[in-house]
Chains A and B, each alone.
Chain A
Amino acid sequence: MRNLLILAVVIVCLPRALGAQGVLVAPHAIYIDHQTRSESVQLYNPGTEPVEVSVSTTFGFPVTDSTGRPTLRMIESPDSTYPSASDWIQAFPRRVTIPPRRRQTIRLLARPPQNLEDGEYWTRLIIAAKGGQVPVSGVAGSDRIQVGLTLEVRTVIALSYRKGNVTTGLAVSDLRAQVLDDSLEIGMNLERQGEGAFIGTLKWQLQNAEGQTQAESYVPLAVYYTLAPRLRFPVGKLPAGRYTLATELVSERDDLSSDVLLPIEPVRTAVVVVVP
């Protein structure tokens, strides 16, 4: 009964997905330690047609482009200076067809080199899902030109492998902010410290000269090397005046257990924002 209730919740929450082609991937971030060297990913086909799924790995990590937008730098053949686990993380099965509304467990096994140094190693799992051919609309026939494209979706998630004592930290510099129309743009330079990627959250609060909070929000962040994000948040129309933007970077995520996050002391910074 409880299962049925939960299933009903999911169906209500994803009403259109049921007729779609794709897979649910859980969790969306994988952590493997050197002691157990294995983990699993659950896939679920919420659709009404079978889905062909393939699982592969590639090396990549988040960066920001020249405009401060986050993106992923993919490196097909990383050299030895990169902590890549792509060559020694294996998925079983790598290809599978998942029937409608069925799940599939993908086992992940790590076979690291024997002389692997302590540290954190990364790869990205690519889960590709392809449905069957969907009929083209209109009357079928060989006496006309009919055109249709099928969709394939690929989900790319992070996998981290840890050996030994791994730490992380953050150095923050050049915090800046400006109000553009009804948005607040926050920029900063972030540089990871330690051996492991910083996975956490940026929280911010904007206060007026009287110390009253005018706006606040948060955004999940991951810093593998350096990051120079420029983030925009809606704040509404603010009266002219001086404001203080206070930011805090913490090793918390509402979508990940604290067990897998490398802890840091919160990093706090502030800057004055003038609204003309």
Chain B
Amino acid sequence: MIRPAGWLGLWLCTGALMLPRLSAAQGSSAVATARATVVTSNITVNGLSDLDFGTVLGGVATTVLPTDANAGSFLVTGNPNAFITMTFTLPTVLTNTTGPPGTTLPISFGPTSARWLRQQNNPAAGTPFDPSVVTVGRLGPPPRPFTYVWLGGTVTPAPAQANGLYTGTVVLTVIY
């Protein structure tokens, strides 16, 4: 069985992924003996910041654009130039966690509510996409094998919307 050279091997390989010029030597140094998995690479999917609407007013729809500072953001890192498939699981209502039980707040996402971009953390330059549709992205080339993803949305409180903290969960599934 091939065993990575302990956790150090994983670290080495993580460094190798980020610094491709090192990968050949360090990747091979992580191989101990013969059989299966060599930890030469990895994938990281991170939620960088939550989608935060802050305080909203009853009866006033509030939109967060994917280019806004309070948009939800994700960072995917992995093998340079690899294709990734991105799928969002999106809520249709948010639940009031501090107010009257069962109170909800509608939330919606449009065809340009999300963006993605290789290499750079710059949503303004990102490619818009519909987060309710499966989207194929691609990691950046060396030395920045990254893809950033941003998500906005719209909440529509009723005029008599109950006060409280409304929350929900957005799931980003990245298929590698």
Contact = CB atoms under 8 A, between A and B. Distances in A.
B46 A157 contact: no
A132 to B, nearest CB: 11
B42 A26 contact: yes
B81 interface: yes
Given A21-B46, A31-B36, A149 B167 contact: yes
Contacts of A47: 46
A146 B165 contact: yes
Contacts of B83: 70, 219-220
Contact of B37 (A6, A31, A219): A31
A130 B173 CA distance: 12
Interface residues of A, number: 77
Interface in A1-46: 2-3, 6-7, 9-10, 13-14, 16-17, 19-33, 35-36, 39, 42, 44, 46
A220 B81 contact: yes
B171 interface: yes
A257 B38 contact: yes
B79 A220 contact: yes
Contacts of A237: none
Contact of A7 (B11, B78, B136): B11
A14 B75 CA distance: 9
A35 B34 CA distance: 13
B11 A144 contact: no
26 contacts: A6-B14, A9-B19, A10-B15, A13-B19, A14-B44, A14-B75, A17-B44, A26-B13, A27-B40, A28-B41, A46-B44, A70-B83, A136-B53, A136-B165, A137-B52, A146-B166, A147-B105, A148-B54, A149-B169, A151-B170, A155-B45, A155-B174, A156-B173, A156-B176, A220-B82, A259-B38
Given A14-B46, A25-B42, A151-B50, 17 more contacts: A16-B75, A22-B44, A22-B46, A24-B14, A28-B43, A28-B176, A32-B36, A103-B7, A134-B49, A144-B163, A145-B162, A145-B163, A147-B166, A149-B52, A154-B174, A220-B83, A257-B27
Interface of A: 2-3, 6-7, 9-10, 13-14, 16-17, 19-33, 35-36, 39, 42, 44, 46-47, 60, 69-72, 103, 124, 126, 128-131, 133-134, 136-140, 142-158, 218-220, 254-257, 259-260
Interface of B: 1-2, 4, 7-8, 10-15, 17-19, 23, 27, 31, 34-58, 62, 70, 72, 74-75, 77-83, 85, 91, 94, 98-99, 105, 107, 121, 134, 136, 153, 155, 157, 161-176
